[in-house]
Amino acid sequence: MVVRGSRLESLCGPCVRRRFAHQETRSMTTLAKTSTTLARAILAALLIISVPMPAMAQVFPDCEETLEDNPERTIYDCSNGLAFEAEAAAAFTGDLSDDVLTLDAQAVLIDGVPQGGDFQILTPHAIATVRGTVFTVDVAEAMTSVFVVEGVVEVTRRDGSEAVSLEAGEGVDVASGEALEARTWPDQRVDELLARFGR
């Protein structure tokens, strides 16, 4: 017990003040460390969210997938008759029940189409409706290129306007402001495109 005005109070008063000051300093240091750790965790989470992730191809439940290299690609053999190859960096999704594949980047090579109905590939620039068996669709930032190896493919702009029909050996580049025109592609361009699929 401290008696006011006593020598004991005058001796212990500074001790108590120092103890409280020390505890307050420790609490503030702990709070600062916790705040710094929390801020780092939030920053790390934001960086993870903002880092662009590579585009992933969709996994189709009714398709058998085979990974190939030289060049890297995935071969899909689907129960509905669709067979296609996709470059490793290809970004695509699809609904095989509707016979539609949406391709946003890179290229696919269609090697077989579903039984019955028209199979379509949608890109940011074009719609390729398949009436053939072997063709490629290659999506770049400002253009979609379609080339037919075998069969017939009809290509329209994404809004459905302006159509062109491609036969074996023909291709078209679909870009804003350019007319759709079926052209026989030079051998070098064809070879470079097909080499991306190991052909």
Q: What pLDDT band is residue 59 in, cutting at 50, 70 and 90? A: low
Asked if residue 172 has pLDDT above 90, the reply is yes
Q: What is the pLDDT of residues 3-15, one digit of tens each?
A: 455 454 455 555 5
Residue corresponding to tokens 């090579």: 109
CATH no. of 63-195: 2.60.120.1440
More confident residue, 183 or 132: 183
- Give me the percent of the chain exceeding a pLDDT of 70: 67
Candidate from 30-34, 105-109, 184-188 with smallest mean pLDDT: 30-34
Residue 52 DSSP SS3: coil
C-alpha–C-alpha distance, residues 163 and 158, integer Å: 10
Instruction: Using alpha carbons, list the distances in angstroms from residue 126 to 82, 144, 153.
Output: 20, 7, 12
More confident residue, 55 or 45: 45
Question: Could you tell me the pTM of the whole model?
Answer: 0.66
- As a whole number, the mean pLDDT across the chain is 78
Select from 120, 132, 117, 184 the least CA-distant residue to 156: 120
Q: What is the pLDDT of residues 139-155, one digit of tens each?
A: 999 999 999 999 999 99
Domain boundaries, the chain: 1-51, 63-195
Q: What pLDDT band is residue 27 in, cutting at 50, 70 and 90? A: low
pLDDT of residue 2: 46
Q: What pLDDT band is residue 82 in, cutting at 50, 70 and 90? A: confident
pLDDT of residue 55: 41
174: Cβ contacts below 8 Å, ≥ 6 apart: 123, 125, 126, 143, 144, 145, 146, 155, 157, 180
Question: Could you tell me whether strands 170-175 and 143-150 are parallel, antiparallel, or unpaired per DSSP bridges?
Answer: antiparallel
Q: What is the pLDDT of residues 88-142, one digit of tens each?
A: 889 888 777 778 889 999 999 998 887 776 788 999 999 998 866 799 999 999 9
Asked if residue 52 has pLDDT above 50, the reply is no
Q: Are 113 and 130 in contact (CB under 8 A)?
A: yes
